[in-house]
Amino acid sequence: MIKTPPFLSPGDTIGLVCPAGSMPVEKVSECIRVLNEDWGYTTKAGDTIGKQFNYFSGTDEDRLADFQKMLDDDEVKAILCARGGYGLTRIIDKIDFTKFKKNPKWIIGFSDITILHAHIYRNLYISTLHAPMANAFNKGEYKNEFVQSLRNALEGKKLKYQCAPHEFNKKGEGIGELVGGNLSLLVHLTGTDSDMKTKGRILFLEDVGEYLYNIDRMMRQLQRSGKLDKLAGLIIGGFTDCKDTENPFAQTAYEIIRDVIKEYDYPVCFGFPVSHEKENYALKTGVGYKLKVSKSKVILEE
């Protein structure tokens, strides 16, 4: 069974870093305040918070050093990536996971952070948290059930989610380890040392701002690289802000996905709250889940 990092107790320290894109301090401060005052944790802001170097929160060396420091710091019990963007693929092969492997801690984030989830699952078989990041705490949104689900996950509560049915859903029940994340990044990892295995697992996918034809191409890449045919279940999250070409593709993202997977008989649900929008439940990568898709509802539980 997959190794699960220890859950957090009041007073435990959460480290915050920006391993990819940069984020101004004022956008992270509400998250830090909530973690300290509402959730009862202590926080440690890494050097990359509030810093900027061109497209990134720092040079590759800065970002690597900051992440490595949090990884090796015994006091830090969880690392919350403040935001995604682009940049993890540039440092992933240089991160030293030796200490982390002995003393795992929760690594939290989504989007570009998919690289950490995939890499750690593939190489270390330690669970991580695909969950909202710092920006989700802003404008009072920290009270919503999605940000709260991160708190529940960190406290060790068993996660159980329910969502509404969708006309494209395929009924059934599947049990397996949960893997997935951002579709663009998952296909980008194909053939690399961070490539995720999906056979017998429940796969979840989400993406933002992609061209529809490219969603088609990415889904076909998953299919042609054998990542769709032996799933225990498939969870389709938000595919938001999709772009189209001058000649319209004439299908929505969900229609594209429905057509690619029509030959498989495992359970599939569409519109699950995992996305770049507010609707984004905390999900534990690698942990065993049960996906139940019925006519009236969808349930995903540990």
Partner 1 sequence: MNRKHFITSASVLLTSAALPLKTEGNEIETASVFPAYLKKGDTIGITAPAGYITLEEIQPAIKLMETWGFKIKVGDTIGKKDFTFGGSDEERLNDFQHLLDDRFTKAIMCARGGYGAVRIIDKLNWAKFRTKPKWIIGFSDITVFHSHLHKNFRIASIHAKMCNSFPVDWNLAEPIQVETIESIQKALSGEKMEYSTTSNENNKPGIAAGVLVGGNLKTLESLAGSPSDINTTGKILFVEDTGEYLYSIDRMFWNLKRSGKLSKLKGLIVGGFKIKTEADTEDFGKTLEQIVLEKVINYKYPVCFDFPVGHQKNNFALKCGVKHKLIVNQNECILKEIR
Calculate ∠ Cα 227-89-276, nearest 5°.
70
**By the criterion CB under 8 A, which residues form the site for partner 1?**
22, 52-56, 86, 89-90, 93, 187-195, 213, 216-218, 220-221, 224-227, 245, 247-250
Tell me the closest approach of the beta carbon of residue 269 to partner 1, in angstroms: 25
> Amino acid letter at 52?
Q
Nearer to partner 1, 159 or 260 (CB): 260
Tell me the closest approach of the beta carbon of residue 127 to partner 1, in angstroms: 23
Tell me the closest approach of the beta carbon of residue 256 to partner 1, in angstroms: 11
Which element (helix H / strand E) includes 123? helix 114-123
C-alpha distances in angstroms, 302 versus 31, 151, 174, 247?
26, 16, 12, 43
Based on the number of CB atoms within 10 Å of its own CB, is 69 exposed (0-12), middle (13-18) or buried (19 or more)? middle
- Report the SS3 class of residue 220: helix
Tell me the closest approach of the beta carbon of residue 88 to partner 1, in angstroms: 10
Tell me the closest approach of the beta carbon of residue 50 to partner 1, in angstroms: 15
Q: Rounded to whole angstroms, how far apart are CA atoms 143 and 256?
A: 34
Tell me the closest approach of the beta carbon of residue 225 to partner 1, in angstroms: 3
Nearer to partner 1, 7 or 213 (CB): 213
Instruction: Name the nearest CA neighbour of 194 among 102, 287, 95, 281.
Output: 95
Rg (CA), the chain: 18
Nearer to partner 1, 121 or 249 (CB): 249
Nearer to partner 1, 29 or 52 (CB): 52
Q: In DSSP terms, which residues pair with 78 in a beta bridge?
A: 14, 106
Q: Rounded to whole angstroms, how far apart are CA atoms 172 and 111?
A: 28
Which element (helix H / strand E) includes 128? strand 128-130
Nearer to partner 1, 55 or 157 (CB): 55
Tell me the closest approach of the beta carbon of residue 86 to partner 1, in angstroms: 5
Nearer to partner 1, 60 or 145 (CB): 60
Task: Give me the residue label for tokens 């996305």.
Answer: 275
Nearer to partner 1, 187 or 202 (CB): 187
